[in-house]
Structure 1
Amino acid sequence: MATPVKDPLTGAETTGHVWDDTLQEFNNPLPRWWLWTFYGTIIFAIVYWIMYPSWPIGKSYLKGIGNSITYKTDAGEEKSTHWNMRALLAHDMQNSTEAAKQQEYLAKVGAASYDQIAQDPDMSAFVRSYGVGMFGDNCAACHQSGGQGVVGQYPNLVDDDWLWGGDPATMETTIRGGRLGYMPAFKNTFNEEQLNQVANYVLSLSGEPADAAAAAEGQKIFQGETGGCYMCHTKEGTGMHAQGAANLTDKVWTIANLPAAETPEAKLAAVKAVIHNGVHRQMPVFGAQGRNLSDTEIKVLVAYLQQMSGGAAAQ
């Protein structure tokens, strides 16, 4: 066995390599515990690659062996798949202690009336907790996280003005089957003068500044066969839930953005634009033919919307 070479100045063991006559390489091996830890990580990585999803292979990847997870799909079908975080989350959401409690409360809410839900602190708290997630997943993209909507596009859900009616049964119907918001465009029906007259009359219905003479002529068009607006909005302009026609006598504006209009001229222009272009907006279906929310989930969502609107949805 060769005798270790030592540095004459420090006495430290060297590898025997010398550069430029005096420059030497010390022999400082890694600690044994560090080496074994390093080897252990290599072994662990190999085992992990075999047991769990890892390396890509073509258009697929190694899915692992010996680990499978069973869970139920949104359609209620039982599915077994290789271990992955998404399947694990679905399994835990359906089989954990918290999931069992959640299902218990869902069944309780499903069997209760809306009045009972509102009067029961535990069920109301559950509706707030579970409903905020459902609203975020299904509604917030259009109606915003706070339910305030977007003027001109999506209705406000936290006020007391519900185009199709705000009683629980109607709200369930709206969520389950969706809604088609439609008003014909009058650009080929009214000339500029008639358009101006009808817009002034609509403004006058809610007490907004309007040209009295033009509004008087606009009333004739609104309530006559030329415009026929009364067929949906009624002759009083109070709207009709069956048609989703807006109440024009209040100060709630869902399409024409009057709150943002700073002058009477701007308000008139906003109303004229709606009458000229009409309205066409579609709310998607969330029932069995759409996003497949269960009856109980729809009930929770309705109860949550009632809480959001402070009970205003009861009308």
Structure 2
Amino acid sequence: MYDASDPRAALAAAPATVRPAPTRFAGAEYARFYELPPQEEAEGLRGWYARGQNFLVNHVEAAAGAILARAAQPDEYVLLLPDAATRVEIEAGGERRGLDGNSLAFIPPGDSRVTVKAPGRMIRLFTTRAGDLAARAVNAASYAEPHPNVAPLADWPAPPGGWRVRSYGLDVPPEPTRFGRIWRCTTFMVNYLDPADGPRDATKMSPHHHDDFEQGSLVLDGAYTHHIRWPWTTDMTIWRPDDHEYCAAPSLTVIPPPAIHTSRAEMAGQMVDIFCPPRRDFSEKPGWVLNAGDYPMP
């Protein structure tokens, strides 16, 4: 359900399918990094980890000289640099290149190394195939058993130009017919939402659900309240009360399917939506995925 001014109101309706009613629901996951000690501390950096079924988020505060390295990474991952003053050097796939802040990069499988040249916040997104990192998540115990209703992770096609570091600037002007600023790779879709300039209009909320994929909502600045409601089924024993959770920055909320959800900015702020693997419905909208030419659809 979207307000007429919301670009998502133009999404094509999902084809009618006969889905069995869920027999179990998972709760939402809330990781308020600002309330937690870091799960990782090394020279020049402090890192927090939280996960969903298919993906994990590593929020890092890094000083100049800090190094984030991966060896034998099984798949493509994301490096997001939200602060304009940050600068890093990336070594991966046999290349070395600098990257300024206010940007994101997709880093190929295999060995990689990110050296911080100018400090700032860094967010890395990995699939949970990176088992060593998934084990560090503050909510790792919640996934001792797989959560229900989430489709298995399946990668999208490899880029025709081969594996390499691909980077994109975040400073893309808003477009009324496009929802946020969306990029995708083989494993992730990242929507760097248009920033909130103040509290969201309470008469223009967007309650909706996803049949079989999680949504990660990463608050980078400001604060948001996540409103989440689970469907009622014939089995009253699996009903869950609604959530109305206030999450400031930095924090990650993982919204499970098929819960109905919407988020309200409580002040000026910045939120990023994370999907793993990419969403087909967003990808099918012309012009919505800003790097669609680099990564083909299945």
TM over 0.5: no
TM-score in terms of structure 1 length: 0.21
TM-score in terms of structure 2 length: 0.21
Higher helix content, 1 or 2:
1
Q: State the structure with more CA Rg.
A: 1
The higher relative CO (CA closer than 8 Å, separation ≥ 6) is in: 2
